[in-house]
Structure 1
Amino acid sequence: MASPLTLHAAPAAGFDQPFELLAACHDRVRRSLELLQRLIAHAEQQGPDAQAADAALDVLRYFGIAAPLHHEDEERHVLPLLLASEQAVWVEAAEQMAADHRTFRALWADLAPGLQVLAEQGLPQLPVLRRLAESFVALHASHLALEDKVAFPAAAQLASEAERRAMTADMAARRGVTPR
């Protein structure tokens, strides 16, 4: 039986469907955020044990490696389409996404060191870690909804076939993958 602090699964879409891949990544973001919340509750109750260390490493890997790549995908391919659209709601969505990405980077810079302490089975300041995690999770809730409901559908509608192919190639290349 899997531990309550484990996280597995990959996105259901591939690079050949770039907007679907971005949306599928949000499932992993949500699971990683849930893991972060369970991790902190576990650490508060059980201390910095091996389960907490493993979960902290999973969260660190996801938000330290995969999430920045995802944000860069959006900044390279989604935001320019929305900004060029001249549709006020889409331009506002792009501006909010960019602002959220900046806030995520700042919050992550504060949150990651405490998670690293847990990954090494040390005991960080859990009240501070909880407060930072709650802010990180709350911002993601509105951010993911904006992307899923407004930004990705709009960008998918706006993107030409050539832009989709370029997006696929760029996303795969930055990850060292050859698209199908």
Structure 2
Amino acid sequence: MQLVPVAARPARAPTPPLPLPEVLSATHRDLLLALDQLTRLLRDIAEQGATPELRAIAHSLTRFLDETGRAHHAEEERAVFPALLASSDADLVQHVRRLQQDHGWLEQDWLELGPQLDAVAYGIGGVDIPALAAAAEVYCTLYREHIALEESVVYPEARRLGFLSEGGHRRA
């Protein structure tokens, strides 16, 4: 994979605002909570240091984002996006391609963040917390925009076309 520095990422059109939490898919709700927790965690570590409690939170967050977020993207790429990319709706196809690009960037960002969060979780020193917090902010912002586009534009269309259930799960 060719890594693209964040500064080299092209400017894109803004995404719609996030829908209300009660209408989000369960996975997206959980991911948004994890992103908020990640931001709080890094702020707390900057203020208090990596206490045992904060290290435990870092461990839990790392596992969740590594497993749930990445599996969620793989499932979308496998089961939802191909049918939408075959659509005759050019705007929908463009949105799905943007989401695919996001998946690549989120993966790239995670490959930088994940090992650093692991180091915090296991009490390994040498992590530059301000730099980690700045990188996490880029990751969290992109992830929130990604979820907003999925939930407000792409998922409703996938439901309308019968590719996704109301709960955000792929239909058989």
Question: What TM-score bracket applies, with the shorter chain setting the length?
Answer: 0.7 to 0.9
Percent identical: 31
* 1:122 Cα deviation after fit: 3.3
Which of 33, 36, 42 is equivalent to 1:34?
Answer: 36
* 1:158 Cα deviation after fit: 1.3
TM-score, structure 2 as length reference: 0.78
Structure-to-structure mapping, 1:11-90, within 5 angstroms: 23-90=25-92
* 1:109 Cα deviation after fit: 0.4
Structure with the greater relative contact order (CA < 8 A, sep ≥ 6): 1 or 2?
2
* 1:47 Cα deviation after fit: 0.4
* 1:168 Cα deviation after fit: 5.4
SS in 1 for 2:25: helix
Which of 154, 157, 161 is equivalent to 1:151?
Answer: 154
Tell me, in whole angstroms, the C-alpha distance in 2 between the residues paired with 1:70 and 1:43: 28
Tell me, in whole angstroms, the C-alpha distance in 1 between the residues paired with 2:91 and 2:60: 35
TM-score, structure 1 as length reference: 0.75
2:163·2:170 contact (CA, 8 Å) conserved in 1? no
1:23·1:152 contact (CA, 8 Å) conserved in 2? no
Deviations 1:46-105 (A, max 9, x none): 101111111111111111111111001111122112111120121011101100000000
Aligned residues: 145
Which of 73, 77, 94 is equivalent to 1:92?
Answer: 94
1:104·1:136 contact (CA, 8 Å) conserved in 2? yes
Which of 102, 105, 112 is equivalent to 1:103?
Answer: 105
Which of 133, 136, 140 is equivalent to 2:139?
Answer: 136
Tell me, in whole angstroms, the C-alpha distance in 2 between the residues paired with 1:121 and 1:52: 10
Deviating beyond 3 angstroms after TM superposition, the runs of 4 or more aligned structure 1 residues are: 166-169
After superposition, the CA RMSD in angstroms is: 2.0
Gaps of 5+ in 2: 1-23
SS in 2 for 1:121: coil
Of Structure 1 and Structure 2, the greater helix share is in 1
